[in-house]
Structure 1
């Protein structure tokens, strides 16, 4: 008979769940509970692949899944990766021993999206090989990153961008933001090589910005010149200025040009 789960471990687990599920929960407090629980789980052999304590393993899996979601909530990608690695035995070795977890495929899909956002395509395909064929074909949490990878391979960045509005769970937005930011910067790098200048409105469309002001700010961050007169972005060094021309200078120059034209006439 398996040893019962120690009461302090159960109490800390319950406190973690309550804090994590509270919309106003404290992320630092969750982190403290997770640290305590991982130590307690290890001490009680519940992170051991040879454990036969089904109840304890189910609790351990739940803790690690909460940890993975918590990592997304606080934006810690390394932490998310570690939790996913710890969860692998619970999704494979203990699959027949434990009841199915409703968080399993959402987290597997999130991990696939993480690999895409990091351009780790070989690891992405290796991870796909461990997924049940029926789930590959029909599970929405797996289909989303699969369709994204296909769009990326085809160079269909617009499809990738539009997929941000079609995420199967709110947590997917975190990695979608990273992926779309990477795409935007790749397009920007190509634009620098392909054009000498672009109208602000065209650049906004090309870079998936909804407002010209947003693309102007992005341009300045990349060191591009923004001309407020012709509403264009100029790539390269040209005159070496990265800021808009002062309004008073523009007015003064225009008046001088008008005076010179009058003299000619």
Structure 2
């Protein structure tokens, strides 16, 4: 079994190095089934070490390839399958040179999903050596820039991604940042020229169609003659309703609040909710 797996690892690695993403994905799926049938997929501690090493390598390659194909679902599945090999078999298998890369990708994935408390808890559990690795420091720098509001640094970070896989998650992170910036724009201005919106949202020259699509999905209207975006109108926000909505967003709670004369205000709700959630996460970290 070990010899067959070693040959499979070599074949998978060769395809991966050649950039044949679809072929890697197909072979990785076949190997995952074989690993599951043999039990190696679950990192059994009593299995042959060489077979476990081969299984770990297969899952690592599959994890990287899933990101290169922008398949975040497969990435999450393969990444989850890898963790027992790193944690439960730490005393049985030699350290993997790919482990720091996997950690960095995990941290970046957490940032892109807004899981800030999980991000910090993961950092606290790492060894000092891991924290000094370039693949781990990269998402840590991104998080610091985000907290500083230096989104331009996050945007320019794409010019120096340590590996191709990081670019996919960075794009998702920039999508999250754009949503946050767009929310601020909507609650701060009645309208905004297209050129200014492109600058604020980090859309480069030549990406006008992407900007217009982004704006359309948020309900923005573009006036062709002036090339200006106008934003959906909403009632005057009321902080009391915003607080209630942040605590209980159910229709019943909203209707009760409305019946007491509290005006509905979507902009203030959308500002208060993230603030309260962030405060809750920070409190759990402390």
Residue 231 (structure 1) aligned with residue 231 (structure 2): no
Shift of 1:197: 1.2
* Structure 2 residue aligned with 1:259: none
- Give the counterpart of 1:218 among 214, 218, 223: 214
* Structure 2 residue aligned with 1:190: 184
CA contact (8 A) 1:109 1:145 kept: yes
Shift of 1:65: 0.1
Gaps in structure 2 of 5+ consecutive residues: 235-286
Distance 1:213 1:36, change over 3 A: closer
Distance 1:13 1:19, change over 3 A: same
Matches within 5 A, 1:20-35: 20-23=16-19, 25=20, 27=22, 29-35=23-29
Residue 94 (structure 1) aligned with residue 93 (structure 2): no
* Structure 2 residue aligned with 1:247: none
Matches within 5 A, 1:58-69: 58-69=53-64
Shift of 1:20: 2.4
Shift of 1:217: 4.6
Gaps in structure 1 of 5+ consecutive residues: 239-265
Distance 1:235 1:97, change over 3 A: same
Shift of 1:155: 2.7
Residue 15 (structure 1) aligned with residue 11 (structure 2): yes
Give 1 or 2 for the bigger CA radius of gyration.
1
Secondary structure, counterpart of 2:164 in structure 1 = coil
CA contact (8 A) 1:13 1:37 kept: no
Distance 1:10 1:232, change over 3 A: same
Higher helix proportion (structure 1 or 2): 2
Residue 51 (structure 1) aligned with residue 46 (structure 2): yes
CA contact (8 A) 1:13 1:33 kept: no
* Structure 2 residue aligned with 1:168: 162
Residue 125 (structure 1) aligned with residue 120 (structure 2): yes
Alpha-carbon RMSD across the aligned residues, in angstroms, is 2.4
Distance 1:105 1:37, change over 3 A: same
Shift of 1:218: 3.5
- Give the counterpart of 2:33 among 26, 39, 55: 39
CA contact (8 A) 1:225 1:234 kept: yes
TM-score (norm 1): 0.77
CA contact (8 A) 1:200 1:232 kept: yes
